[in-house]
Amino acid sequence: MSRVAVLKGGGSLERQVSLRSGARVEDALQRLGHEVIPIDVGGDLVARLRAEAPDVAFVAMHGRDGEDGTVQELLEILGIPYTASGVSACMRCADKVLAKHAMTDAGLPTPAFYSFTETAFKELGAAEALGAIEERLEFPIVVKPADQGSALGVKFAQSPADVAPALVAAFSYSHKVLLERHVHGRELAVSILGDEPLPVVEAVPREEDFYDFSARYTIGRTSFVCPAQLGDALTERAQSLALDVFRLLGCRGFARVDVMLEEGTDQLQVLEVNAIPGLTETSLLPMAADAADIDFDELVSRIVEMALQPV
């Protein structure tokens, strides 16, 4: 049995979800007989990790710091093995723009997009290019912060008048935003555990036409179907695409790939990869694992084992 530090919370906007993921992981680790060291990540992180000297760190953080390679870098420096992806894969996943460029370069499907920093608008007159972008992407256009996990700050611009407020909103979360072609269709989440794709989860929004942040974490707002009713061929395509993206970005341990199945064309389009997807009672990766007869304790157990294996 190991001494496992569970890193959770922190100052990211997804703090609350992370605390819930962390608490659930702690319970599982205790049931598995591990010694658990819960750490709400703050200014004393390095000091605490040095003092506690855990065998392994379970990173149950979402969003900034925890999912973007920052905490991973610190763990590398301290020589503490940790769960899920390494520094560079985290950086690639956390930055949706970087991830989408990598996919495009590798010939993997992702919706057409353009990305700008705040500086581009403030100092380089990027606003002049908005018209051309709108023409190429066609409305509705999805406007997203580049590095915000979850759906915070994601807006749909239905017409040119919506674009500026949507950009202002997105820039509230990030200094870089992307404008993306809206893909209409079914929303699929394909989780990867180790190097195996898990059964596909389909998210079916109940109330709004957009699968928003609150729906993601609130029971009853969205219904989930797992395994998604896609037929064998489509399921296999989705899983194989997710695995390709997981490998392309250099992920390790586990991750969740969000994919759209476009209506009409049946084409799959990758929206983003979550390097540390939620592990709460309502999260999709544990749901997918469950559908593969991997209960939460076993899931946590496997994730810890993978972290302890020499890379």
Partner 1 sequence: MKSSAMRDLMAITERPEVISLAGGLPDTSTFPPESLAALTAKMAATGAARALQYAPTEGMAAAKACIAEVMAAEDTPVDPEDILVTTGGQQVIDLVCKTLVDPGDVVVAEAPTYPGAVPTFMSYQADVVQIAMDDDGMRVDELEATLDRLDTEGRRPKFIYTIPNFQNPAGVTLSLPRRRRLVEVAKERELLVLEDNPYGLLRYEGDPLPTLHALDRGEFVIYLGTFSKILSPGIRIGWTTAPAPVLEKMNLGKQGADLCSSAFSQMFVASYFEHDHWQDYLQSLRDLYRRRRDTMLDALAEYFPREASWTRPQGGLFIWATLPDYIDTTDLLARALSHNVAFVPGRAAYLDGRGANSMRLNFSGVSDDDIRDGIRRIGEVVREQVDLYGTLTGSASAAAGAGDPSAPDPDLADVLHLPPRPSPGRRTDAR
Residues 161, 293, 309, 310: which binds partner 1 (CB under 8 A)?
A: 161
CB 185 within 8 A of CB 262: yes
Query: For partner 1, which is the closer residue by CB, 36 or 170?
Result: 170
Residues 110 to 139: which contact partner 1 by CB under 8 A?
118, 121-122, 127, 130
**Active-site annotation, residues:** 14, 150, 217, 256, 258, 272, 274, 278
User: Applying CB under 8 A, does 11 fall inside the site for partner 1?
Assistant: yes
Angle between helices 87-94 and 70-78 (to 10 degrees): 180
Query: Can residue 168 be called a binding residue for partner 1 (CB under 8 A)?
Result: yes
- We find the least distance from the C-beta atom of residue 143 to partner 1, in angstroms, to be 11
Based on the shown chain and the rule CB under 8 A, indicate whether residue 163 belongs to the binding site for partner 1.
yes
Between residues 112 and 127, which has the closer beta carbon with respect to partner 1?
127
Residue 27 sits in the site that holds partner 1 (CB under 8 A): no
Q: Which of residues 202-261 bind partner 1 (CB under 8 A)?
A: 212-214, 217-218
**Minimum distance of partner 1 from residue 224's CB (angstroms):** 16
- Regarding 23 and contact with partner 1 (CB under 8 A), the answer is no
Q: Which is nearer to partner 1, 16 or 30 (CB)?
A: 16
Lay out the site mask for partner 1 across 61-80 (x = CB under 8 A, - = otherwise). --------------------
User: Token pair of 33, please?
Assistant: 């007989």
Query: Residue 17, interface with partner 1 (CB under 8 A)?
Result: yes
Min CB(130)–partner 1 separation in Å = 7
Q: Which residues in 172-211 contact partner 1 (CB under 8 A)?
A: 172-173
* Chain residues that interact with partner 1, rule: CB under 8 A: 11, 13-17, 19, 118, 121-122, 127, 130, 152-153, 161, 163-165, 167-173, 212-214, 217-218
